[in-house]
Amino acid sequence: MENFKIDVDADGVALVTFDVPGRSMNTLTASVIKEIGEVVERIKTDAAIKGAVITSGKTSGFCAGADLGELGGNGGLGGGDLQAAFDAGFALNKAFRALETCGKPVAAAINGLALGGGLEITLACHYRVVGDNPKTQLGLPESKVGLLPGAGGTQRLPRLMGVMQAAPYLLEGKSMKPQEALAFKVVNEVVAPGSEVEAAKTWVKTKGDPVAPWDKKDFKLPGGGPYTPGGSQVFVMGNAMLRKQSYGNYPAQLNIMKAVYEGLQVPIDAALRIETRYFLKTMMSPQAKGMIRTLFLSLQELGKGSGRPAGVPQYDVKKVAVLGAGMMGAGVAYVQAMAGIETVLIDQTQEAADKGKGYAEALVKKAVSRGKMTQEKGDGILALIHPTADYAQVKGSDLVIEAVFENRDVKAEVTKKAEAELADTAVFGSNTSTLPITGLAKASVRPANFIGIHFFSPVDKMGLVEIIMGAETSQETLAKSIDYVLKIRKTPIVVNDSRGFYTSRCFGTFVQEGMEMLAEGIAPAIIDNVGRATGMPRGPLEMHDDVALDLSYKIAQQTKKDLGDKYEDRPFTGIIEKMVDGLGRFGRKNGKGFYDYPESGPKTLWKGLSDVAPVKIADADKALIEEIRTRLLYRQAVEAARCFEEGVVVDPREADVGAILGWGFAPWTGGPISLIDGVGAAKFVETCDQLAQKYGSRFTPPQLLRDMAAKGESFYGRFAAQKAAA
């Protein structure tokens, strides 16, 4: 065996060390699953073995769960044959059940994180010991990538802690710390780190019980089962809450509920078969395929800098100047300092620069008060941020982030000031969200070193950075920018220049489509309620308030100025002008937009909105709800397809990851490109043509999509072929 090592001591206790070669963390690969069966057979049949302890040979933790790279890349278990698919899906359940019924006591010595299948293997052991490390996580995060726990998690966890207590860990993918797990009886003992194996061996030798609680005749489910007064309420309320939170978009959560409900009414062997059926049903859904690919595989690849040009030496960014100490600049300064980068934070006055540093001071104070950071570490972070109004302090910077107002003249002025202090090798990055990089680079004397580095607000919470290539930006500058983004622990996507680039351009269509509906007379409450039901974080009118109505107005004015006669006024243009110019309603920022934002209490729709945008449709039937839902999602997806045709984005991974991380595109789809691939290009084009006929050319599919529909192609299929050819 290459993944497990078995050492039997003088007392007959077999120490099974799980250590996948060549990997920093143990995962459940096909090879590991096969060898688990061999380990169980050895424990069961070797007369010299009286019991066993399973532990990890890695310092990184116990096991991170299934290898989603294998799972997501195998095109579906069983190759389309249902029996073969079931057998393959049931393999891990079968192996763990064999371990649980081997007739000898087996303990798990959990020396670090145990997630997904990593926790499930410990649940199949008769006793669990975990080291008392607050950084250790125990959990079943499968639902976060559109799956359900498929190796006994939906059956053993509720049997240990009760359905109500298990629900957040199954449905939300929450993790628990060792002391929490002990309180919930998920583990039996918490010991000092490093003594897990010793404690587990002691149990095997002194108290070892080879029968799981649910295999004993007197077993009672904590909190009661589905048909007890207490247990039935959990499922009734749980079903309602699930619908409220997921809007039926996530099959994994519904199937988890079904697996638990049905499984708890039958013996464990039948329950595990039920779980496997729901696991397969979930895994074969387009939602699971899209979410695994985007939220795990693609995110991991991009997070390692897969888009970085080859042949460029690593660029270690040690000092960065941030121009503009407003909310964005202040956030950038904070994340840079957190990554150990010396930061010069510049604004027009010392007072404004100091205020920008105050943002980092507030975040550090909060982290220290919550015990997440020591005062010493916090002081060290703040010492790296130097607020100033003096551009001479830019000297020696490896990179500049320009984060001033979205005004060409202001940006040109600070570009010239900063470049006067920069070395020839330094990178100049603009944080503009809409203005084309090639145009901004005209103010630069080194356009090859000029690039877009677009952050998202709030910077300390948003994990994406959109890197935009200008017409003259060099590959070396791109490589340096990616190195910088990885150093501050963000995920980079690389796009080519255009107005709004990729993220702002596509996100804008969601907000604009909501405005189109408002202008059509659809009630604001219907627009936003259906908007949230699509899986977007907020409705389009709420989102518009968040980004600020006056910002939209200013961008529209700048775009109108740039495009001249080519600019097209929309039916909702007058609504925005009235809200901003006429009524001073700028959105959340000044407490009044489409919604009113009282100092205390929840926001409410502004009662005067119907005077600005008269309501013609106050009720929505099922057909209208479905049409609004389709319009909001497809409008964004067709724009993403246009970005491909125009060469703004060339990698579907970047398009999908950028959409979900950048503006919160419905995660259940896997992203707008996965949505198109899941629906099928032909069907998507057909629906868009129908919408275009009814609502206008903004829904007209680009020629690229028509060609793909005719050839039966998908975006990911095309990308894989191009990658293989390269």
Which sequence positions are flagged as catalytic? 466
Q: The dihedral of CA 413, 418, 421, 426: what is its sign?
A: negative
Cα–Cα–Cα angle for 717, 534, 461, rounded to 5 degrees: 85
Concatenated DSSP letters of 401-456: EE---S-HHHHHHHHHHHHTT--TT-EEEE--SSS-HHHHGGG-S-GGGEEEEEE-
- What is the number of H-type helices and E-type strands within the chain? 31, 19
Amino acid in the structure at residue 252: A
**189-191 and 127-131 beta bridge pairing:** parallel
CA 183 to chain centre: 30
Residue 529, SS3 per DSSP: helix
Compute the half-sphere exposure of residue 441: CA atoms within 13 Å on the CB side of its CA. 22
Rg (CA), the chain: 28
Angle between helices 681-695 and 622-645 (to 10 degrees): 110
Q: How many other CB atoms are found less than 10 A from the CB of residue 539?
A: 25
Q: How many other CB atoms are found less than 10 A from the CB of residue 570?
A: 15
Q: What's the start-to-end Cα distance of the chain, in Å?
A: 37
Contact 102, 210 (CB under 8 A): yes
Q: How many other CB atoms are found less than 10 A from the CB of residue 324?
A: 25
Contact 675, 633 (CB under 8 A): yes
Peptide bond into 598 cis (omega under 30): no
Phi, then psi, of 179 in degrees rounded to 5 = -65, -35
Phi, then psi, of 147 in degrees rounded to 5 = -115, 175
Helix then strand then coil, % of the chain, to nearest 5: 55, 10, 35
- Non-local CB neighbours of 697 within 8 Å, separated by 6+ positions: none
**127-131 and 106-110 beta bridge pairing:** parallel
Q: How far apart are CA 691 and CA 451, in angstroms?
A: 37
Q: How far apart are CA 168 and CA 444, in angstroms?
A: 53
Task: List the structure tokens of 92.
Answer: 């891990």
Q: How far apart are CA 396 and CA 422, in angstroms?
A: 7
Q: How far apart are CA 605 and CA 627, in angstroms?
A: 23
